[in-house]
Structure 1
Amino acid sequence: MAPFYVRSLPLLALVGLATACAPTYQLGLKPAQATNLFVEGREQAQATADSVEVRLSFVCYEATRVVFEAEYRNPTRHALVVDPTAFRYEASRRPTPTYDFKGRPRPLPGTEVTAAVAAASQSVLLPPLPPNPVAAFDPEPEITMLRATADREAAKAARIDWLGVALSTASLVSGVVSINQRETVSQHQNRAAIQDAAFAYNVASTATKVGHAISADQLQMRAAHLQQYALRKVTLEPGQQVRGYLYFPRYDAADALVVKAPVGSRVVPLEFAQVRRRQ
């Protein structure tokens, strides 16, 4: 009987061929209805409640998040609290008949398709829709966590490595002691081993410290980015406006996201179509 790996080769080749032939799609979000309202090239969905204007635009996808920018304008005579944790979205899919692409052409490049068609063309199953409205992330705990973690990383980078100091001292002492002395082969080998160990350890220790320092800088930058750009809880006085990023968990297998934006005790819907364009 042939070994398993030999018998598996044709099957693996077919799987690889099917994967290679599966189409890929570029994902994007846009207002469900055109508004001709733009900010920095992004079209904004718009809603009004109690004279307060809310605008929302899609910014980008991150690895696990979808990012919107929210804008509030308060022309009223009373203050308004804007809280990012009060935002929710509801995901939905367009009713689409089941597609079987066996023997049928797949979507042409540039074609926009539904989540169901994209999944069928890639031979994958659609996950269920979120059963409950999906809440936006609260940026405050993340900012606090990032800064605390950055401080710990910076402390590790600045910490004195006493073992490295001890090894360097031992290496230096052994070198000084050997001056003007005849060393046996064994003594020379021991001194060389101490010096090599001290050098190798200090190189590794320095690399570790540099890694901690880089990590601290990256975490501080992420915290500063959130602090500057994220929508944070704020009181809008009459005549004021605010803009900031909202971060939601991304859900790629939906055809529409309806973001519910808070306006005082009310919520207003802002509808977005999630589109897939065949690449």
Structure 2
Amino acid sequence: MRRIILVACAAGLSWGLAGCAPSYLLAIQPAWPDTPGEKSQSAVFDKYIDSVEVAVGFVRYEKTELIFQVEVINDSHQAVVVAPETFYYIPLDTSAVVASTTAALPIRVDALAPEQYLRKLTDQLNEQVAKSEKVGFLEILTTVTHVVEDVSSIKKQETDAQIAERDQRHQDENAAFDGLRETHAGQADQIYDQRQIVERFLLRRDTLRTGQRALGYVHFPRTDAANRLRLVIFFNERPIPFDFTQQRGK
């Protein structure tokens, strides 16, 4: 089975530094905590910039997303603005990977803005709820057809087998529509649960006073075709880079 792991190393404060600190192995599927952990069990590394601690840990892959845990602790004497929507990563060392694919890689990949992400989930939830309650045109037409068949059968000399066949067909068609609504209801339940979890754990825009702390998850679109990802965290519009090495394993 193909799997992908991330190895993280703290990038130098200067963008020009080529070396990195000792690597930290990040598990691809660490357990989802009940609350964002004090420190993730996967590798977390810190940087202290002007009395502000910034800690980043890889959480897991999802089908189309990468999820990181970010913690900012303000021990300075001034307010610190944390804005997850300004975070991004840059795919690096992609030449060997790109050579084997025709897909163009983005120059940078922005974090999924928290409020927009929640609105998207809400829209998906509302859509599935509506579909779970809706009686569509095709179902109405099918019901009318059933009534017409039942009425017209009165004038016919149907055998017991024909009557049973017609009744069974009507039941099957009605059950199919009911099943479709149940499917949408189940999807609505899943999206609702997902939204509750995301809303609880998502890192949101905040202004931290002295001694305050922000901790939560930041979602990014996946870019598998990159050997390194340079994750850039901002506070007070100041970029703090963290490098991750993406390895492909069997």
1:163 aligns with 2:140: yes
What TM-score does the superposition give when structure 2 sets the normalisation length?
0.72
SS of residue in 2 equivalent to 1:198 = helix
Deviations 1:167-195 (A, max 9, x none): 69959x87xxx8xxxx8624868855653
For residue 9 of structure 2, the aligned residue among 18, 31, 52 is 31
Q: How many residues align?
A: 223
Letter in 2 for 1:89: Y
1:261 aligns with 2:238: no
Q: How does 1:117-266 map to 2 (within 5 A)?
A: 125=100, 130=105, 132-159=107-134, 163=140, 170=147, 185-186=157-158, 192=164, 195-266=167-238
Change (3 A) 1:242 1:29: same
Change (3 A) 1:42 1:127: farther
Change (3 A) 1:24 1:208: closer
Give the whole-Å Cα distance in 2 for the aligned partners of 1:127 and 1:198: 50
Letter in 1 for 2:9: P
Larger Rg over CA atoms: 1
Superposition CA RMSD, Å: 3.7
What TM-score does the superposition give when structure 1 sets the normalisation length?
0.66
How much identity, in percent, do the aligned residues show? 26
* Richer in helix (by share): 1
The gaps in structure 1 that reach 5 residues or longer are 1-22, 95-114
Change (3 A) 1:265 1:142: closer
The gaps in structure 2 that reach 5 residues or longer are 11-20, 25-37
Match of 2:90 in 1: 90
Match of 2:29 in 1: none
SS of residue in 2 equivalent to 1:185 = coil
Q: How does 1:1-150 map to 2 (within 5 A)?
A: 26-32=4-10, 33-34=21-22, 39-93=39-93, 116=96, 125=100, 130=105, 132-150=107-125
- The question of whether the paired residues in 2 share the 8 Å contact of 1:31 and 1:44 is answered with no
